[in-house]
Amino acid sequence: MDPVQKELQRYIDIRDRLLQEVQEREEQLQTLFSELRIFEAQFLEQVGPFQQKLDRWKHRLHIMESVLQQLENAEEIPVSCSAWRMDIEEHLEPPPKEEKPIPIAILSSEEKKEAKDLYRLLARRFHPDLIQNEEKREQRREVMAQINQAYQENRLDLLKEQQHLPDIPEGDSEKQGDVWTRLVREIAILRKRITEVQDEYTSVQESELGLMICDGQMEIDTYISKMKRVMRTTILLKQERWRQMRILEERYWMEIDP
């Protein structure tokens, strides 16, 4: 091999090694995102009903507070507050609708390995940083977004389907000088991407939720149980506050009893 070809191969080896590192780090990041989504589904399923109940009690309290305020300021106590309540509800934003968790498939160890292997293969085929044509890069970004989503959601079936997607090549043949330029550019892009992915991974990993996930399922279960207890206590406090307001409202009606 002549010196030029030898040096060219050295650059190719550097590029391939960096690409491998990028893929491994991106895979770790997508795996962490997948674990976050599984937690989100668990959280919504177990804590969501308590949040809905709490939102309904907040809504009732807001209406009651508004009615009491109008009773307090009224020159004459009305026979009924129905019109007030209707007007308040008409201008009051309703409680948020129940947020349904997106079901996340639970994969076996064998299926996880298969999903990981497919993700690596697809990421290598469609990584957008390895081509220069901006139109083709955008096409690859769109495909990679679909691949990342499928991997995050444990959609092994979609990853299998995505194997059959057509390749998105650069398209044009290159002269040797262009190859050098491309390799230098790719190496710089990949090094930058490694830093970006590592920073994002560290940021997510060091978040409160990320730390819980790293500590394991027991820590997640403990957190969810704690949130359910907090919700229950808050709901009881709202209910007691509502009962106190009802007593106060009754006093206004007592004042106009003949």
Q: Is the pTM of this model over 0.95?
A: no
- Under a CB-based contact definition with an 8 Å cutoff, are residues 156 and 105 in contact? yes
Give the pLDDT of residue 200: 92
Instruction: State the pLDDT at residue 238.
Output: 94
Which residues have a Cβ under 8 Å from the Cβ of 73 and sit 6 or more positions away?
A: none
| pLDDT tens, position by position, 197-235 | 999 999 988 887 777 777 666 777 888 899 999 999 999
Joined tokens for residue 80: 């009924």
Distance of CA 160 to the CA centre of its chain: 23
Between the CA of residue 182 and those of 13, 159, 174, 241, what are the distances in Å? 14, 30, 9, 68
CB-based contact 183:12 (threshold 8 Å):
yes
**Sign, Cα dihedral of 41, 221, 204, 156:** negative
Q: How far is CA 200 from CA 123, 147, 205, 255, in A?
A: 18, 19, 8, 63
Q: How many residues in the chain?
A: 258
For the chain, domain boundaries = 3-103+179-255
Q: What is the DSSP string of 121-189?
A: HHHHHH-GGG---HHHHHHHHHHHHHHHHHHHTT-HHHHHHHTTSPP----S---HHHHHHHHHHHHHH
Tokens 């139109």 found at: 135
**153: which DSSP letter?**
T
Q: Is the pLDDT of residue 83 over 60?
A: yes
Contact 18, 187 (CB under 8 A): yes
Structural contact between residues 252 and 71, judged by C-beta atoms closer than 8 angstroms: yes
Q: Name the token pair of 63.
A: 């209406």
pLDDT at residue number 98: 67
Per-residue confidence (pLDDT) for residue 171, from 0 to 100: 61
Structure-token pair, residue 37: 């989504």
CA distances from 9 to 141, 183, 187, 234 (A): 27, 10, 13, 65
Task: Output the pLDDT for position 63.
Answer: 82
Contacts of residue 200, Cβ cutoff 8 Å, sequence gap at least 6 = 29
Provide the H-helix boundaries in 74-108. 82-91
Give yes or no for residue 22 having a pLDDT over 60.
Answer: yes
Task: Return the pLDDT at 148.
Answer: 92
Residue 76: the pLDDT is: 64
